[in-house]
Structures are given as structure tokens and as C-alpha cells.
Structure 1
């Protein structure tokens, strides 16, 4: 890509923002050298990487890459057999620490969002190897870049222990000297100091001959000598020797650690490259989020369609989005309008967003924006061109244009700002039309801005060339920065001048000097602009209504499908349950009657018993046919649940029981009920109305109203908690077991399914804590095996 074009379109400023978002030196280098690509498959892959990074950042937060070091020079030193310093080893440890953090980050993202398609990033994460043993050994041995740990080796530990003992002996000997009365007058100060790595005391100059020892230094005035007493010379020599041994042992430890790193040099290099690439990809993701970007769709048909595009270097809160398309219905777009109206911004937005897209970066535009791939983007905006105003001269324009015409191909995108400006308007307009004709004949996508009316006519009369304008509000004398494709712009010079205070007689004279056809053309432009704005508004309104209607239709269809599925499922489950009950009843009755038949043979009533058996089977078969034709029980709901009062009888659908209302619904819709001997709160959404008055239980007179439970008439001997979380299942189970126990059921069945076993384990733990349970066991063959638990009450 032409470097001048990159500078003109300010691509380098976008790269600067990307560099600032990277964490490592290596990723910054990659970002600084990022260039637009030309292979469609490669570009789509890089765009997908950016999209995955955005998704992961939004789901898991920023990637923890702090502390990532550049260890490339260290790895190179290892490759030639060199040893690493403590600082270099610490940097390798930092890289391994970041590897561990990144792996944990990726694992957390995968666990939390296992259904997200992040294949490209997960492949990079999976190839990172943490190398725990190497990281552990480096951090164990090295405390800082200047300090080796005492426990780095047994020899180092012994050396430092001896150094500590020797230093203590030296200090003890020197303390005796400085506190001795015989030496007190000889010393300048009663302190211990170090000179040339040896312990000394400050002695007055006049006692030089009296104080035995080695002189290592003297003060600037010469009045003080720093003397090492003879009594500690030997001890200092020993410390010096131990210091040398310490340095030698540290070198051995560094050599050992370097050898350890060399064994993993290949993976260290691979980890560094992977982390660098991940750092770069996540920087692209952070940039996309910062600029509120989306992934563009790429095509190889030379079609551009930018929806709500925004120049990334302008304030994203105030910039006016533009819609622009090119390449499908026309290949040349002619943009007109006043200065500071946004023409140059439009040019730069098209060019810069195309460069960003080809570089694998998301673009600040709405979803479904389309870009194409260009071998070159040529921009004639001038060396001194700013976003607001062109300052280019005719000669500099022509130099650029000549170069563009010589190198542009059908795979190029050409951007002209103020084409033909800087010379005689008539000649400039003619030259501009000739240039556009040349590019149009080669089928080269071109966007140009101009003030010339001749070029507006050229666009209107030439197939494949389209007019566009940057909207301008004459009342406020301010541009709206909206781009309107399909009509040319009006200069508005007379209106602006009058608004600014130019006298009417001058404006009228100027109008008379214009040819009548030019005035009519400008008026036609005004009418077209008004018509276009009205049409766009109506179109936008129609599209909005269409989208709303489509959304409502989709919601209705989804709801309709959901209701149909629920209805089918409920009917199927009801039929299966009914047939199951009937089948069990038939088998049980058949078995009992057979047994009775066998017994009756001894009494001579076998025929009569067989007759009763046949009659019973016929009755059950009739019941079965009746259930097949009508499976749904009828409900009598004669009263709104919001109006229930104390004493009303209701049916609790979640518990399959009746109860008496003790108090009306509260603000949350909760109703207090009496069900047998128990009181509970139930929401009105789980109730259906049965009737008024207190519940009268079997074998109970109205006078006594004893709390005799009748739950055994309706309580099911089994409960199904499959699909529930453990906490949710235990809540259901607690209520069910209480009801079953109060109903005097001997045993119940809990259906929890097999699955991973977590639900079964939680249920068994809960059952162990229930006092009225005698025992429980896993179901046997025919009962559901490990998918159920049989509970027996005391």
C-alpha cells in the first residue's frame, strides 16, 4: 500500500492507538508494522480473531498480560551456550507466570461460555505450555535481580552461614576495641565502618604509629585514618574468601538454571510468540470496543456499503454517521456541497475504514457493513489538507493525479478531493470530467468532491456515475454532515451571503449576472434535495414499521410453536401415565383373580370365580377406552383467585392437594393456607378455586373439625426431580417427604436420574439428616436401578 496514502488517510494514528493498547514490546512491534492485507481468506481469519477477542473481553474482562517480558535475546544467548543473569531468569519466570494466568483466563472463559465459538483463540491458548517445574525452580532460587536465595543450593546455604558467623566475630572484636578505654582516645569516633569491603575503625592521624593495623583509606582533611586492626585481619580475609566462594556458587546456580531453561528453550520461544500474538489480537479487540466497532463483511465484487460509518479520529459522541455505497449500481460517486460540510471527512472515512478492514481491524460502523479488497488506495487530498478545508494547489493536485492515472488498476480505489480546483473553472471542470471518464472507462471505483456545476451535470447524464451531497442547513448556516446519495448539492452562496448580512441589491445583481439556465438548475437541485429528504424519511419510517411488524410476527410464531409443543408434551405424558396405571391395575387384578381361582378349585366355585374375573377385566377395558377418548380432567373455576377470602377452599396445583384459605392474598400474591395439620404460604399463581367453606375430612363431624390428614387420598408415592439443581431439588423433596410421612405412606420413590451422580449424592446426604426416615436404598432391577432412591419411613 502506498505510504503516502497511509499518511494522508491518517492510518498511522489508528496504529498509534493500537500500539498503546498492547502490553508487551513484541506486540507493539507487530502493531507498528501492521499493514493492510490482500488475501480474502486471511483477512476474514484476522477479522474473526478480532471478533473472538471482543467476545472474550466482554464476557471475561481484559486479558491479564501485565509483566510480559521480551526474552528473545535471552533465548538467543542460550542457543549459543551462554548463561543467563538473575534478571534474565526472572524475566523468563515472569513469562511463565503470565502463561499460567492466561491459561487460567482461557479455562474460565471456556467453562463459563462453553457454547461460544472461539475456536481461533482457544487453539492459541491450548498450545501454551506453562512449564511449572521451571517456573517453580526459578522463583525458589532467585529473590530479585541482585539477590540469590540462601536455599538455592546446599553449598550456598553453608557459605552464607559461615559468612554470618565470621561477620559476627569481626563485629564482636571491633566492638571490644571501640569500647576499650585504651583505644578510646585514639579513635576519631567509636564506630565501625567498611572500606574496600573490609571492616575498619576511624583512627586519629596522630595515633597512626600507636594503632596496629592496615590503613585502607583516609578522610579528605587527612585527620582521620581508616585502619583495619590486626586482630580482625585474618577474619576479614576469611570473609573475603567466603565472598569469592559465594560468587562462584551463584555462578554455578545460574549455570544450572540456564541449562534447565535451555532444555525448554523451544517451548519458551513458542510461548513467547503465542503470547505476543494473543497480546496483539486482544489489543485489536480493545480498540474495537473503544471505538464501538463491528466486524465488516468482505466481498471480492468491489462493492462498498458502509452503514452509519464514523471517522475513528473524530469525537465518537458528536460525529455524525454517514451511509455510503459504491460499486454495485455505480462505480463513480461525485460529492458536492459547501466547505466544512463534511465532504473530505466522507472521503477519509471511506479510505480509512477500508484500510482498517484490510488490516484485520473492526470498523466504526453498524453491523452488516460491507467492504472489498483493493490492491491500492490512492488519495489526492494534498500534503496540507485538513479534515475541514483543502489547502492544495493545482500543481500539487496534478502531480498526484498523474501518478494515480499511471498506477491505478481495476482493483484500486481512488479518492479525489476538489478535483480540478486551483485553476480556471471552465478548464478545471473539463479536465476533471476527462480524468473521471478515464477512470470510469477502466471500471475503477472512484469517489470525488467538487464545487463545479458542470460535474453535477456530468454525473446526472453519465451512466455508472452518481451524484451525492453533504446536507447544509441554510437557516442555521451549519452543515448537518449527512450524506445524501442520488442528488447533487447546492452551493447556497446567495443564501449564506444574505444570512451573513450582504445587502439585497448586491445579491440581486449577482443573480442577474448568472445565466437563467444556471439559476433554474440550482432551483431544480433544491427541489430534488427536498424531495429526497422527504422520501428518505418516509422510507426510514416504513422500514421501522416493517421491522417492528416482523419482530411481532416472529414472537407470535415462537409463542405459538411453544404452546403447541407444550400441549403435545402434556397430552403425551398424561396418556403414558394413564396407560401405565391401567396396565399395572390390569396385571395386578389378573394376578389376584388367578390366585383366587386356584384357591376356589378346592371349594367347587371355579366357574363363578372365572366369571367374576372376566367381568372385572371388561370393566377395566371400558375404563381404558374412556380415558383414551378424554384424558383431561375438568376443572370448575368459578371465581377469580384475587378475590379469595378466608374460608374458601382452593386446589394447590404444585402439591396436588386441597387447602382452606386462612387469609386473603398479600401485596406479593401470597395466600396463607391450612392443609391438614400444616399451615403454609402459596402464591395465587399456583392455586385454582374449588369453593367456599371449611374442608370436611372423612370420619370427621363439622363440630370437632379435627386436623385429620387426608393427604393419603391424593399424595403420589413418588417424586421426580430430574433436571433440577441440588438446592432446588432439596426444597421440593423436603415438602414431599413431610406430606408423605403425614399421609402414613410406608415408603416413597425419589426419581433423580443417573447423570453425573451429583444430584443423587446431594439427595442421599439430605436423607441422612431426616429423623423420621427409617432407611433408604438405590432402586433394584425393575425399580429404576441407580436412577431412583427408595425411602422407607419409621
Structure 2
């Protein structure tokens, strides 16, 4: 079975929460919907339920005018339509009218143009209230459930006759009352009264015989009798007959109207099914607003990343004291699958366990868990829980035996899509044996690749978590100075139970504590110290690895920039050479033309001295003009430093600068054409003609500057990498603000070396999504982008891949 044990809701503390949410429903349909919201393992169905609930939460925040009246469960009354012998009563028609008006208002609200809630719009689009039903009910009955006189001509005629007879009786009774009072037979203050729906005269018992009337009753003292005069009997009998006709006509009208509704039985059932869904969503969303529930991201791979998660009961309990709970952050994925939490008693271990279990269970039951919107939860096929005392008197099982049965079930059924939550693993028996069995269970769960959380006090389980792949330690933080729990989880570090410190705080005698420490021995204290040292070393190496990754990324960036600069310089050089060759070709062509013309003129002048002299003079003027042409200012000036000087060749050990840059380094090896230069920690090959020799002092000065800049850059990059999140949310931002956030996030991603991003922009009317994608198309650093999968947000999330 996907849930273990059967009373899982009670074990994790969600049963009373579900009951609270049910009380927020407006009708029985909604209450039943909340109580019957079952655990699902279908990612698509879960995503759809959470989308509906998220939209309804926003609706309650921004649309207080949404219908809140007329929610009632009319489905039992619809059975009347299945029997031709039954009909609706006037009161039932009033209830039918009021609820159908509410359903029509709900459907109309989501059908209007520009609706911001696509999931809710789709949900309500299939509901069809039979046309004209509400108007027909209004024509037949009033709000008090009385059939109107105008319901039919026959009913109107009957009631007019009844009113006439009632007027006639009233006149007769008024006349007899006045006569009796004038004759002193009836008290002056007496009034006409009603007995069994009939008007009567209150007459003293002694005067009874003075009236020709039928006695209909006496007062409690017997001194007053109530008489109906014979003169009014005939009219009263006519009224009784008319009232019978009235009842028959009303029954005919109601039966006729009920018959018109019988073909719409299924449509009406659908309408009330929708009303129940809306009431259920309303109750859930209202609770989420009260306690801070949010829609998490549904992950494809087995994942449990909780951000600022809390338990609903704890939130409510602390709210009465004016306090807030310490939120829980934890990360479980393919590398760190099972979290082993240790720490002192009453430090929050069990609360963390129940908080994680409740968050996952609520999401898969269609409730918004109390966790940040950036939390990621995958869909689990199984949730196995062993929390609390499971002692069974009926089965003759001790607490420890019940725990062992649960462990056997977990190890037999846990898989990669299971979530196992175990409180105080191995407790309840002799510590050595219990710890050994617990370690075996933990190793087995690690091999099953399930995700899980285990709480313990056993040191061997902490040690197992440090050495076993897929396991990770976690500690509930503790203020050792004031000896009080901080209720905050520190993942990656084993916790301590602090038994001796707490014993001191509780006032146990010093000699008791000293004796206990002696009995525990050095091995216990040494093991605790070794665990903490191992965890500290692990954390240190993790930090150093992150620093190395950041430094590598920085060096790669510097190398890329250097390669780019050198490529630009090479291109520049090629352009200069090409321009020089073009200019030389032009000069040669022009020179040839002038020389040829000079020779021709000399030949034509037959060696005439004056003409020859003039031709030579023209040739010399052309040569002088060439020498006087200005040098192209765009071409770089080649100095003696930059030129390759024979006899002064660069060699290994020389300090050099790359021409046209501020980058300096030392030659490691050199050939006549190329040299291998060490620039900081990077080795690069540079053409000899692009290097210039510098002094050692100048090299040291620039090297220090480069080191300082590199250190600052690495620190900045390290900080950026630690704070960077590939998922970011722009919902609620204005257009320009959202576009700037996307641009900034892409820049940061390129800097820290992240290639994939997820932008949460919501669906809405699609304008924000379109503008973001237009920006992405214009960025050369973006390789591709697409919609997220439907179960993880669909068109409301854009996945971006950077180059």
C-alpha cells in the first residue's frame, strides 16, 4: 500500500488540520470534498489540483466580490427527479433557486474576458445550468417559499374567492362582537381570536346561551368560551372547500414544474458537483492564506528541497503566544538521499520529521503545503512513516516489536520513489543491539535509493551517515552557552545529545555527573569529537572544492579573454600588413607609370639635354612626394622594443609583456618563433614578435596588482556562486522590472558557470511570457528556451539553456 501505517495522517499531525479545513467550507459538499481529498501518485493530477488551488488562493486575495452566498448541498433533493410520483416542495424550490443563482454567478465570473485564472476557467466551463430555471422558480414562488397567486389563473381565482369569503366572515364577526359588547354580553376589551384557523368570539361562559353559535373551545379557567356563530359556518365551510382546491392546484403546479426538470437531472448533478469543487477549493485556499501555504515546484526526479517549511499545528500553536516557528530548510536528492538528524531531546528532530512528511502529504492530497514557492517536491509512490509509540494491546506487541514490524515493511517495499520517515531509529531496546539493527536497516534503505529522514541519538548511525554513500548527517542546532535548543537544522553536520550539559543545567549534583562521565569513558567523548572533526573536514573540503571550481571558472574566463585579445591583435596585424601591401602595390604601380613615362619622353626627345633634364626633374619630384606622404595614424608604431632584434633573442626566464596589453609573465621555454609564457597560473603560447622584454621590478609590480585583482574576483565569484539560484520568480513584477531581472540573472549565470535556468513567470494572459521570450531571442548568450513540462508548470515556466 502507498501509505504506511493506515493512521499516517494522525501520526504526522495532519488529521486535525484536515478537520479544521473542513470547517471552513460553506456547505456539506465542500466539507465532504475536503475530508475525501485522497493521496494521489499521478503527477499530472497533482499538478492540476495544485494549480487550481494556487489560482483560488490568488482569487481570494484580489477578488473579495467572488460569490460567497448560496452554497448548499441540494444533491439529496435531486432524487425527486428520478420518481414520477414525487415533486419539489416550495421550500425546496427556493433552495434550488438560490444555489443555482450562485452557480451561474461562479460560471459567469470565470467566463468573462480577461480572466486571470485559466485553470479555474477550464474547470467551470463544462457546467451548464438549465436555461430559464431560475426565472421560472421566481415566477412560481417567493423568497419565503409561498406559491404566488400568479402561478396559474386557476390558483388566482381560487385565492380571490377565499379572500372574499374571509372578508365576509370578518364582517359578520365584527358585527356580532359590537352587538355583544353593546348588550354587555362580551367584555369591552375583547377581540376576535383564531382557533384552529377559524375566527371565534371570546364570550363569558354565563352568556353562552345568548348566542347562536358553535362552541370550539374554552379557556384554561373555563370562564371564557370560544364561539363560532352559525352565520359564519356556511362561509367557513366554503373556505375549507376552496383551500382544498388550492392545495390540489398547488400540487398540480409543482408537479408540472418538477416534470420540466426531470430531463435535466444529470446537468443539475454536474452543477452541484462543480459547486462542491469550488467550495472545497475555497476552504483549502482560505486555510492556505491563514497559515501561509504555497504551491511548490513538482520535480521529475526524486527530490525533496524544502524552503522555509513549517507544520500547520505548530504555526497555530505559536500564533496564540505571539510567536513564529523556526522554518525548516532541507535538501534530499540523488546524491544525499537520506538525512540522519541527531541532537538533544526536545530540540526539534521529530517536528522536522513531521514537517517534511506533512509538506509532501499535503501536496499529494491536493493541499498547499506550508513551504516556500521555491521548494521542490517530487511525486512519491509510497510514504512510509514510523513516528510515535505504536504499542498494540490487541496484537500483543511491545513498542519495539511494532517498530521492528515497520522496519521490515520499509526494507521490503522501499524503492527509488519512496519516502521513509523514521523517528528514533533503533530505540526501545538494549542500545548496543538496537544500534546495530538500526545501522543495518539504514544501510538497507540506502541501497534501495529511497529518500528519507531518520532521527537518532546513536553515535554509530552518525558514523554510518559519514561513511555511506547517499547518507548525510544533520544536526538540530543547540546554544551551548545558554543550553537551549535553537530548532534550526544544520545539514551536513552530526548533532550531539548534550546529555551531561543538560544534566548540569537541570541541577543534578556534580558528583553524579562526574561519575556518569567516568562510566561513559573516554571512548564516548572521543567518538563524538571524531564525528564532529570528520564533519568539519568534510565541510571544509566541500568549501575548498567550491573555491577551486570558482577559481577554475575565473581562470577559464581570463584565458578566454586572453585568447580573444590575442586573436584580435592577430587580426589587427593581418589588416595592417594587408593595408601595407595594398599601399606598396599602389606605389609600385604609380612608380612604374612615372618611370615608363620618363623613359618614353627621353626617347622621344632624341636625348635632348633640356628635355632629359626636365624628365629627370619630374621623376625626382615624384620620389620626393612619396617620401613626404604621412604615415597612417591608425597603424601601430613599431618600436625597437617591439621588433625582434637579432642577437637579442628572448629566452627562458625572461620577464615579458604581451604587446598592446597589460598582461605580464615569465617565459618558460622559447623557439625562434614562439614562446611558452606563464601568466599567473595559466600557461599560454605567444608568437615571439608579440612579446617585449621588461625588468624584474616592473614584472613584480604588475604581478602583485594582477594577484590582488584575481583574489578579489575569486572572492566575488565565490559569493555569487553560493547565493545563486537557477530558479527565479518574476511573477508580480512589472514588465520592465521583470525583463531587467531576467537580464541580470542570465549575466550572473554566465559569471558563475551555470548553463540552465528556470524562469517562473506564470501563465496569466501570456503578455509577460511573450516579452521575456522576445528578450531571450535577442540575447546571443541564449542557446535555446522552451516550456517546462506540464506537471512542473507548463507554459507558466520557461527553461533556458545558455551557450
Range into which the TM-score falls when normalised by the shorter chain: 0.5 to 0.7
Q: Which has the higher contact order (CA 8 A, sep 6+)?
A: 2
Shift of 1:418: 1.0
State the distance in 2 between where 1:286 and 1:148 align.
39
User: Does residue 483 of the first structure (1) align with residue 489 of the second (2)?
Assistant: yes
Cα distance change, pair 556–178 in 1 and its aligned pair in 2 (3 A)? closer
What does residue 346 of structure 1 align with?
A: 352
1:36 is displaced (CA, Å) by 0.9
Q: 1:522 aligns with which of 528, 538, 550?
A: 528
The equivalent residue for 1:429 is 435
Aligned residue in 2 for 1:157: 156
Equivalence map 1:324-363=2 (5 Å): 324-363=330-369
Indicate which of 7, 10, 15 corresponds to 2:13: 10
Aligned position for 2:141: 142
Residues 427 and 311 of structure 1: is their aligned pair in 2 closer, same or farther, counting only changes over 3 Å? same
One of 77, 84, 87 as aligned partner of 1:83: 87
Equivalents in 2 of 1:532, 1:338: separation in Å? 23
Q: Distance in 1 between the 2:23 and 2:520 partners? A: 55
Whole-angstrom distance in 1 between the partners of 2:158 and 2:235: 14
- Going from structure 1 to structure 2, the CA distance change for 1:125 and 1:299 (only over 3 Å counts) comes to same
- Kept in 2, the 8 Å contact 1:150–1:156? The answer is yes
- 1:58 matched to 2:64: no
Which residue of structure 2 aligns with residue 308 of structure 1? 308
Q: Tell me the SS of whatever aligns to 1:201.
A: strand
Structure 1 residues 498 and 199: alpha-carbon distance in aligned structure 2, compared to 1, 3 A threshold:
closer
Q: Is the 8 A contact 2:94 2:145 kept in 1?
A: no
| Other-structure match for 2:105 | 101
Matched, 1:71 2:70: no
Aligned CA RMSD, in angstroms, stands at: 3.3
User: Aligned equivalents of 2:127 and 2:739: distance in 1?
Assistant: 44
Cα contact 1:414–1:446 (8 A) shared by 2? yes
Which sits farther off after the overlay, 476-485 or 64-73? Answer: 64-73
CA offset at residue 426 of structure 1?
A: 1.0
Inter-partner Cα distance in structure 2 for 1:225 and 1:321: 79
| Compared CA separation, residues 241 and 275, structure 1 to 2 (3 A) | same
Change in 2 beyond 3 A, CA 1:514/1:364 = same
Q: Could you tell me whether the CA contact under 8 Å between 1:65 and 1:102 is conserved in 2?
A: no
Q: Find the counterpart in structure 2 of residue 176 from structure 1.
A: 175
The answer for the alignment partner of 2:707 in structure 1 is none
In structure 2, how many angstroms separate the alpha carbons of the residues matched to 1:531 and 1:347?
A: 27
Find the residue that maps to 1:415 and give its secondary structure. strand
| Residue equivalent to 2:27 | 24
Runs (5+) with no aligned partner, structure 2: 317-322, 392-397, 547-714, 731-736, 747-803
The alpha carbon displacement at 1:214 in A equals 1.9
| 1:259 aligned counterpart, secondary structure | helix
Does the CA-based 8 Å contact 1:354-1:371 persist in structure 2?
Answer: yes
What aligned pairs does 1:40-439 form with structure 2 within 5 A after superposition? 40-61=43-64, 63-81=66-84, 82-107=86-111, 110-111=113-114, 114=115, 116=116, 118-131=117-130, 133-180=132-179, 184-187=183-186, 190-315=190-315, 318-383=324-389, 393-439=399-445
Contact 1:37 1:43 in 2 (8 A): yes
Distance between the aligned counterparts of 2:539 and 2:500, measured in 1? 22
- Please say if residues 474 and 496 of structure 1, whose CA atoms lie closer than 8 Å, have aligned partners that are also in contact: no
CA distance in 1, matches of 2:133, 2:411: 60
Matched positions, count: 548
Question: C-alpha distance in 1, partners of 2:10/2:108?
Answer: 41
Contact preservation (8 Å) 1:375, 1:412: yes
Distance 1:403 1:460 in 2: 25
* Superposition deviation, residue 98 in structure 1: 0.2
CA distance 1:18–1:331, shift in 2 (3 Å): same
Q: TM-score, normalised by structure 1?
A: 0.63
1:646-678 CA-to-partner distances (Å, cap 9, x unmatched) read xxxxxxxxxxxxxxxxxxxxxxxxxxxxxxxxx
Partner Cα distance (1:215, 1:504) in 2: 99
The residue aligned with 1:599 is none
Q: Is the 8 A contact 1:214 1:229 kept in 2?
A: yes
Contact 1:93–1:138 (8 Å) recurs in 2? yes
Distance 1:310 1:246 in 2: 64
Which residue of structure 1 lines up, in the alignment, with residue 696 of structure 2?
A: none
List runs of 5+ in structure 1 lacking aligned partners: 386-391, 562-794
Q: CA deviation at 1:528?
A: 6.5
Quick check: 1:179–1:190 contact (8 Å CA) kept in 2? Answer: no
Q: TM-score, normalised by structure 2?
A: 0.63
Distance 1:500 1:205, change over 3 A: closer
- Does structure 2 retain, via aligned residues, the 8 Å contact 1:96–1:131? no
Aligned-pair CA distance for 1:524: 4.0
Give the deviation of 1:428 after TM superposition: 1.3
Q: Is the 8 A contact 1:490 1:526 kept in 2?
A: no
Deviation at 1:512, TM superposition (A): 3.7
Whole-angstrom CA distance in 2 between matches of 1:477 and 1:556:
44
1:195/1:520 Cα in 2 relative to 1: closer, same or farther (>3 Å)? same
